Amino acid sequence: MSATYNFCAGPAMLPHAVMEKAQQELLDWNGQGVSVMETSHRSKEFIALTEQAESDLRELMNIPSNYHVLFMHGGGRGQFSAVVNNFLGEDGKALYLKGGQWSNAAVDEAIKLVGEDKIDSIEIVQKDNGLNKVVLPEFEGDKEQYRYLHYCPNETVNGIEIFDEIDCPWPVIADMSSTIMSREIDVSRFGVIYAGAQKNIGPSGLSIVIVRDELLALPSLKQSSIMDYRVAVKNGSMYNTPPTFAWYLAAEVFAWLKSLGGLKQVAIANEKKAQLLYQCIDSLAFYRNGVAVENRSNMNVTFQLADDALNDKFLAEAKAQGLIALKGHRVVGGMRASIYNAMPYEGVEKLVQFMEAFAKENA
């Protein structure tokens, strides 16, 4: 069977080498004769795994020592309510930047919990020559006492990425579910970074939270212990039984990223993949991407065909060549190629060859 390249937005493909290692170790992890799934999370073997995972993640992202790293349940969306409950208290307000499907959903969840009076929001995507472009507001001298500003640097559905950092007087909380570890960032500029694991880290269900310690002094709302960051810190992310298999796979992904030379090298590879694909889209009148060049996502490349009636044919023929899960999200339509860290350059090359041939035959 020839290789299958999986362009799914999430759960996304995982590195082949990691999957092979997991397969080999499935029935006998660490010479114990049992799977990691069947191992106590409090065993010394598993604790060693979690320590290695945290230290690798800290090294990869260059996380300062005044930040906690938490491995939690509930994926990306679980954190939409967690940040509200952890930081808003009874009288706090927060500011949300709305730039697409996910940041908008975070606003809806926050309003559901504390009401519209406590949540301000700003639309940051504007049309510029028919293209979606992010225009960040100026916050200099802003006197509002927000507990935090929340935004999503990579809108997975819309294929919009914000490469600029946010300058504001409040702690910045970022939903990095679909961009975490795709390039180097300066963690110290963020109050909280969180991410559901299933795009760049591992299996769904797990989420990673990186939180600056001083934020934990903010008043929290009454909330379930399982999503309380302070409880998670106190218990080493083991207040209850953590998603151990997902944690194990995440640890393997971190080790794999280190073996590639860390995020600097990973970012170069991601840039190359994205350039190849956008260049194909731009060079053929048959395809169109609707995002301003400076906001084109390196992770989720969205594009429309010249004629929507060809979408099903495109998807079927791509699939026959082992190029799967290219269908765009239902709210935006068209196509979406998610090219996270685990997607090899060859996968994008093969997609581009297919797109060129398809355009020629169907133009």
Which residues participate in the annotated binding site? 42, 76-77, 102, 156, 175, 198, 240-241
Show contacts with ligand PLP in window 169-198 (CB under 6 A).
175, 177-178, 196
Q: Count of CB atoms within 10 A of residue 313's CB? A: 14
The dihedral sign for the CA sequence 226, 219, 54, 256: positive
**Inter-residue contact 199 to 12 (CB < 8 Å):** yes
Reference 289, options 343, 332, 330, 321; nearest CA is 332
Q: What are phi and psi of 146, to 5 degrees?
A: -75, 145
Q: Considering the candidates 199, 273, 327, 350, report the single residue annotated as catalytic.
A: 199
From the CB of 105, what's the least distance to ligand PLP, in Å?
7
From the CB of 362, what's the least distance to ligand PLP, in Å?
31
How far, in Å, CA of 207 to CA of 6, rounded? Answer: 22
**What are the angstrom distances between the C-alpha of 164 and each of 120, 152, 167, 211?**
21, 12, 9, 21
Q: Count of CB atoms within 10 A of residue 224's CB? A: 10
Show contacts with ligand PLP in window 296-355 (CB under 6 A).
none
The reply to whether 10 sits near ligand PLP by the rule CB under 6 A is yes
Q: Which listed range, 75-83, 85-93, 239-247, 304-312, lies at the site for ligand PLP (CB under 6 A)?
A: 75-83
From the CB of 103, what's the least distance to ligand PLP, in Å?
8
Instruction: For ligand PLP, give the closer residue by CB, 304 or 338.
Output: 338
Q: Which listed range, 20-28, 43-51, 58-66, 71-79, lies at the site for ligand PLP (CB under 6 A)?
A: 71-79
The reply to whether 204 sits near ligand PLP by the rule CB under 6 A is yes
Instruction: For ligand PLP, give the closer residue by CB, 76 or 191.
Output: 76
Say what angle helices 311-320 and 345-362 make with each other, to 10 degrees: 130
Q: Considering the candidates 29, 56, 118, 175, report the single residue annotated as catalytic.
A: 175
From the CB of 92, what's the least distance to ligand PLP, in Å?
22
The reply to whether 202 sits near ligand PLP by the rule CB under 6 A is no
From the CB of 174, what's the least distance to ligand PLP, in Å?
9
How far, in Å, CA of 296 to CA of 150, rounded? Answer: 20
How far, in Å, CA of 112 to CA of 144, rounded? Answer: 22
Reference 95, options 180, 171, 154; nearest CA is 171
Reading the block at residue 152, the tokens are 């999503």
Q: Which of 102, 148, 170, 229 is in the footprint of ligand PLP by CB under 6 A?
A: 102
The reply to whether 76 sits near ligand PLP by the rule CB under 6 A is yes
User: Is residue 247 annotated as part of the catalytic site, yes or no?
Assistant: no
Q: Closest CB to ligand PLP belongs to which residue? A: 75
How far, in Å, CA of 263 to CA of 216, rounded? Answer: 28
User: Is residue 175 annotated as part of the catalytic site, yes or no?
Assistant: yes
Q: What are phi and psi of 125, to 5 degrees?
A: -100, 125
User: Is residue 142 annotated as part of the catalytic site, yes or no?
Assistant: no
Show contacts with ligand PLP in window 134-153 (CB under 6 A).
152
> Annotated active-site positions, please?
102, 175, 199
